Structure formats: C-alpha cells, structure tokens
Chain A
Amino acid sequence: GQQVMQIPQYQHVQEGEDFTTYCNSSTTLSNIQWYKQRPGGHPVFLIQLVKSGEVKKQKRLTFQFGEAKKNSSLHITATQTTDVGTYFCAGYAAGNKLTFGGGTRVLVKP
C-alpha cells in the first residue's frame, strides 16, 4: 500500500534559524496537503499542492511539490517559538483517502 515518510522525525532549531523538512511517497501523488499539530492539539490544515513543481508561500513557510509528484518539502525561515509543533504531510494517490506521514516534530530553542 501507499506509504508516506517524513524526515527528520525531530528537528531542534535555534530561534531565528531556517530549516527544511522532507516528505517522500512510495507512489505518485495526485496532490499533497500539509497540516500542523500543536502539542495537545489537533491537526490544522496549512496548504494543498496539486501541480508538479508547484511552490507556495505562506509568510515564512515555503512549500514545494516535486516534479515527479512523489515528494514535497516545507522550508521555514527565521524560526519563531510559535512554529513549535508537529508538521504532517499527507498525500492522495487515488480516491479520497489521505495517507499521513509520521510527522516532523519541531522544537525551538529560544
């Protein structure tokens, strides 16, 4: 079955620094979504990417969908304490079934 993997599992970052988290699928995706889950909270939708090579920005967050539609990345610049949480990518291969990755847990050192 479809598998979605995220690396790294944990990201310790100094406040103000940049980092990137990666998402890889075992199958070609029709689209990919990113969610953020704060500690003790529930996943909250961030963005959806549909087109091959698509890049979207939300303030300090930049999302990219790979050319082969099998991978994606999230780059955060000038990390803030509000960025703490777990970031999940989730992909659709077929139908309406969303497969989530294991997430990247982001910890910010002030």
Chain B
Amino acid sequence: GAGVSQSPRYKVTKRGQDVALRCDPISGHVSLYWYRQALGQGPEFLTYFNYEAQQDKSGLPNDRFSAERPEGSISTLTIQRTEQRDSAMYRCASSLAAGTYPYEQYFGPGTRLTVT
C-alpha cells in the first residue's frame, strides 16, 4: 500500500516568510511524528500526535513552530517568519498505534527546506 507522503519535497523560501509542510500518514495509523534531520545527523524529535491530539510538543524549537492534525489524519507543520537556521530536512513518520511499547515508525521522504 501507499507509504507516508510529504509535500512539497523541496521548498526554498526567503527569510521572514511562513511555510507549511504537509504530511499524509499511512491510512489507519494512529500516531504521527515530526522530526528535523540535519545533514549527517539523526532525526531530532519535534512533536507527535495520537489521532488529532498533540501529545508532546517539547521538541519544537520555539513558538514560530506549530503543528496540527485536525481530523486525525493529515498533519501540517508550520514555521512562521522563517530564519536561515530553520534550513533542514523535515521528516514525518507514522505508526500503527501507541501501546505499552511503541510500534515501528514509518518515515516519509521528507521535505528539504532551504531558507535564503
């Protein structure tokens, strides 16, 4: 079946502009995660949802970053007033459920954000 999809795949924006990154998880997956991955580094947790409820946003760097998943499926990560330091690969992942032990996460291809 279809995997996790993200759009756009590449986004170049000017400093100060707002950007919205979209994630479409695997159908039926309860949990959705956002990560940021710098080149040569591991994914860094940003936030996650169970259904439409944001469970943990402790990884969001500052209040310019926000995320929503209003209907428990598609999620949007929004960065306001972008800065050059926001340039990175933004990855979304989904998992079937969150039980006693977390399930495996399925990652999307990522959105490469470049702020000029």
Contact = CB atoms under 8 A, between A and B. Distances in A.
A31 B104 contact: no
Interface residues of B, number: 27
B25 interface: no
A51 to B, nearest CB: 10
Interface residues of A, number: 23
Given A88-B42, A96-B55, A100-B43, A48 B48 contact: no
B89 to A, nearest CB: 9
B102 A43 contact: no
Interface of B: 31, 33, 35, 40-45, 48, 50, 55-56, 58-59, 91, 93, 98, 101-102, 104-110
Nearest to A95: B56
B101 A30 contact: yes
A43 B37 CA distance: 11
A48 to B, nearest CB: 7
Nearest to A47: B104
Contact of B41 (A30, A33, A45, A103): A103
